[in-house]
């Protein structure tokens, strides 16, 4: 007798899914501490003992005073009688001798030898550690009387978070 074979049905197939693509996370963002936050010329003027509105906030670009924009909050530096003054507990300032320092040199000077007051004359340099942790370099370019001065300034973007 002839043999018959039953038709075969193909085995059920399981649906295939598209291959999974793994996207690597973006690289972590890093702050370049040598990136310049602001550079230019600033005028620093004397404050009255109870009037801090003329102190410059070096953590704004360009550095502002309360007279410029209302309350700036932090005040980093001012000038009076041939001196740069940093308000107590907010920022520090240190004299720098020699050519313009690197950001690292300036930061070290302002951190290690920083004070609230340094005496400067035309051509002198100073390093500042701002209230937000930025590093700034100033070079006095001229005095305008005993109570104000102009300075070239560079503020690096190495603020603390």
95 domain residue, yes or no? yes
What pLDDT digit, counting tens, does each position of 122-157 carry? 899 999 999 899 999 999 998 876 677 889 999 999
Residue 120 lies in a domain: yes
Candidates 153, 151, 155, 161; CA nearest to 43 is 151
Chain-centre distance for alpha carbon 51 = 26
Per residue in 78-91, is it b (16+ CB within 10 Å) or e — as a string? bbbebbbbbbeebb
Q: How many domains does the chain have?
A: 1
Do 86 and 93 touch, CB atoms closer than 8 A?
yes
Q: In this structure, is residue 161 part of a structural domain?
A: no
In a domain, 7, yes or no: no
Q: Are 76 and 128 in contact (CB under 8 A)?
A: yes
- What is this structure's pTM? 0.72
| Domain of 40, in residue numbers | 36-156
- Dump pLDDT digits (tens) for 36-90: 999 999 988 776 444 555 678 899 899 987 666 544 445 777 777 677 788 777 8
Residue 10 is assigned to a structural domain of this protein: no
- Domain membership flag for residue 5: no
Q: Is residue 8 part of a domain?
A: no
Is 19 within the bounds of a domain? no
């Amino acid at each position: 007798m002839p043999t018959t074979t039953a038709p075969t049905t193909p085995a059920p197939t399981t649906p295939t899914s598209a291959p999974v693509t793994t996207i690597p996370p973006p690289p972590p963002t890093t702050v370049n501490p040598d990136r310049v936050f602001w550079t230019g010329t600033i005028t620093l003027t004397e404050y009255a003992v109870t009037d801090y509105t003329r102190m410059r906030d070096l953590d704004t670009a360009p550095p502002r005073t309360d007279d410029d924009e209302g309350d700036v909050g932090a005040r980093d530096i001012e000038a009076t009688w041939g001196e740069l003054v940093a308000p107590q507990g907010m920022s520090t300032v240190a004299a720098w001798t020699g050519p313009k320092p690197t950001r690292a040199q300036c930061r070290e000077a302002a951190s290690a030898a920083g004070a609230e007051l340094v005496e400067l004359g035309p051509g002198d340099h100073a390093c500042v550690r701002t209230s937000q942790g930025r590093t700034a370099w100033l070079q006095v370019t001229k005095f305008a009387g005993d109570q104000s001065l102009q300075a070239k300034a560079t503020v690096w973007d190495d603020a603390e978070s």
